[in-house]
Structure 1
Amino acid sequence: MKRGIWLLLLVPLAGCGVGAELTGAAVGIAAGTVTGNPALGFGIAVGTQAGVQAGLNWAVRVRARGEQDAVAEAIGSLVPGEVRPWRIEHDIPIGNEHGEVRLVREMVTPLATCREALFSVSEGDWFVTTACRQGEHWKWAAAEPAVPRWGALQ
């Protein structure tokens, strides 16, 4: 019994990629054992795995959107050539990021006002992105899975 407890304590170290599979397997085995129906246990395992994976994907998207919004707001407050720090502090303080952002240029058209900028993450490499004004705020506009209309493709 003690060996099983230690194995359960090691599960978080495996990462999020394994969490959904292990949860689905555990629930499926339990359901199959309780009901005596392995097909039902398999169906419950697959459904549980899909639900847990969807929840993990949602959480990752929310956190990424928070980071993108923090960078976009920093971009919106700059003048061309200016460098300023950016920072995100998540509700659950894991993966809080910071870096610098440098405004490269502003593009004003009748349809949108956008800004292209360079940003760093935790004093690492520099990346380029675009942020556009959306009402009172600036939003991430890079062609990545950051657009809500992409739905399940994110």
Structure 2
Amino acid sequence: MTASPLRRVLLPAAALLALSGCAGFGSAVTGVTTAGVAATVGSATGNPVLGIIAGAGASYGIDQGVKYAERRITDNVHNAVARAAGPLAVGQAATWTVEEKLPLSGKTGTVQVARGFGEAIPCKDVVFTLDDAPDFNVTTICRAKDGQWRWALAEPATRRWGSLQ
């Protein structure tokens, strides 16, 4: 008895997922989905080329969806840090918070104003932390024409800041 094309693809993919650990979870899910869609469409239509095209399309869609969610989380953190630091004087600190709108997107930390500069465009250099990371990060925020403080520059103080950069 031979295994179905879907089973021949999904079993090795599941084994790879188990061996890959958490670091490769996103790409492993994309890979399993791509293989599953390709096998299903190829098997249903009898045309492996259509299966490959459908699998590539599914992979691209998942990848773009993940990137969109990461950009939204990053924008929310940038805005929360700027809003918290805007009204502070040099040397003052405050807590910043992002309410969880997307799964696992709730973030909190502390921000402190290191210096203020500029007259035509008022800006501040700030140091901030994320509560779930031990690193310190620095950025510059500036006040826009509408009076709102906005993220102007990101310069992590560490070798890597992950998806929030």
The TM-score, its normalising length taken from structure 2, stands at: 0.73
1:121 to 116, 130, 137: 130
Distance 2:119 2:147 in 1: 17
2:77 is matched with 67
Instruction: Report SS of the residue matched to 2:100.
Output: coil
The CA RMSD over aligned residues, in Å, is 2.8
Partner of 1:150: none
2:114 pairs with 1:96: no
Alpha-carbon offset, residue 76 of structure 1: 0.5
The DSSP-based 3-state class of the residue aligned with 1:94 is coil
Residue matched to 2:117: 107
1: CA distance, partners of 2:85 / 2:152: 12
Which structure is larger by alpha-carbon Rg, 1 or 2? 2
Instruction: Answer whether contact 1:100 1:121 (CA < 8 A) is retained.
Output: yes
2:141 is aligned with 1:131: yes
Distance 1:93 1:51, change over 3 A: closer
Map of 1:85 onto structure 2: 95
Instruction: Name 1:35's counterpart in structure 2.
Output: 45
- Residue segments in structure 2 that go unaligned for 5+ positions in a row: 1-6, 156-164
Structure 1: segments with no counterpart, 5+ residues: 145-153
Q: TM-score, normalised by structure 1?
A: 0.78
**Contact between 1:63 and 1:90, CA under 8 Å: does it hold in 2?**
no
Instruction: Provide the residue aligned with 1:148 in structure 2.
Output: none
2:32 is equivalent to residue 22 of structure 1: yes
Runs of 4+ displaced beyond 3 Å = none
Q: How many residues align?
A: 140
